């Protein structure tokens, strides 16, 4: 009887809830069932209906990625070439103003692009030059530390 009184308690409309003072056992029956939405019979991935496939790609997610949110914001179009993303497109997140150039990581300073459009933009926005410069600075700092370490010992 003492075991029942110690571990089993009444909670809401449930009479047998296993719990201690600190925590309770998760009730698996409380997990909502989320059914998969079937693909409409007239659609297949090669039918050219990219808008349908793009919407489907993001609509059923419980946790949307930054790429999903960016795709929805841009109405499933690349900000560089303005083309629709296709089901097999490689989509990447880009910072409109590169972070190495002082840009932020906030939602309004990000965009989603095709990988090849992202590569083109990165080549021309100056971020590669700034990264090279930062790497050189890093090497110099490492060299100074190494020299300092040698002179201390
Ligand atoms: Zn593009």
User: Tens digits of per-residue pLDDT, 22-69?
Assistant: 898 988 888 888 888 888 888 888 888 888 888 888 887 778 899 999
H or E element: which one contains 113? strand 110-114
Could you tell me the distance, in angstroms and rounded to a whole number, from the CA of residue 117 to the centre of ligand 1? Answer: 5
Compute, in angstroms, the gap from residue 61 CA to the centroid of ligand 1.
24
- In angstroms, what is the span from residue 83 Cα to ligand 1's centroid? 6
How far, CA to CA in Å, does 70 sit from each of 3, 58, 145?
Answer: 53, 10, 42
Q: What is the pTM of this model?
A: 0.61
Assess contact for 18 and 8: CB atoms under 8 A.
Answer: yes
pLDDT band (50, 70, 90) for residue 153: very low
CA–centroid distance, residue 81 to ligand 1 (Å): 4
66-73 and 50-59 helices, crossing angle to 10°: 140
Q: Which residues pair with 84 in a beta bridge?
A: 77
Distance 124 CA to ligand 1 centre (A): 15
63 alpha carbon – ligand 1 mean position (Å): 25
Confidence of residue 80 (pLDDT cuts 50, 70, 90): very high
| Mean pLDDT over each residue of the chain, to the nearest integer | 84
Q: Which residues pair with 95 in a beta bridge?
A: 110
pLDDT band at 109, cuts 50/70/90?
A: very high
CA dist., res. 132 & res. 101, Å (int): 12
- Predicted confidence (pLDDT) at residue 143 exceeds the cutoff of 60: no
- DSSP letters, 11-66, are ETTEEEEEB-SS-B---GGGSPP-PPPPPPTT--TTSS-HHHHHHHHHHT-SS--H
Alpha carbon of 125 to ligand 1 centroid (Å): 16
Tokens of 142: 């490492």
């Amino acid at each position: 009887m003492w075991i029942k009184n110690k571990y089993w308690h009444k909670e809401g409309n449930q009479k047998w809830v296993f719990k201690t003072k600190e925590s309770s056992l998760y009730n698996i029956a409380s997990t909502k069932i989320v059914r998969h939405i079937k693909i409409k019979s007239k659609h297949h991935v090669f039918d050219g209906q990219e808008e349908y496939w793009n919407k489907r790609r993001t609509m059923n997610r419980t946790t949307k990625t930054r790429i999903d949110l960016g795709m929805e914001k841009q109405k499933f179009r690349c900000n560089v070439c303005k083309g629709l993303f296709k089901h097999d497109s490689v989509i990447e997140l880009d910072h409109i103003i590169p972070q190495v150039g002082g840009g932020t990581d906030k939602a309004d300073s990000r965009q989603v692009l095709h990988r090849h459009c992202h590569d083109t933009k990165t080549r021309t926005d100056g971020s590669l030059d700034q990264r090279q410069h930062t790497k050189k600075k890093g090497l110099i700092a490492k060299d100074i530390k190494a020299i300092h370490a040698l002179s201390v010992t």
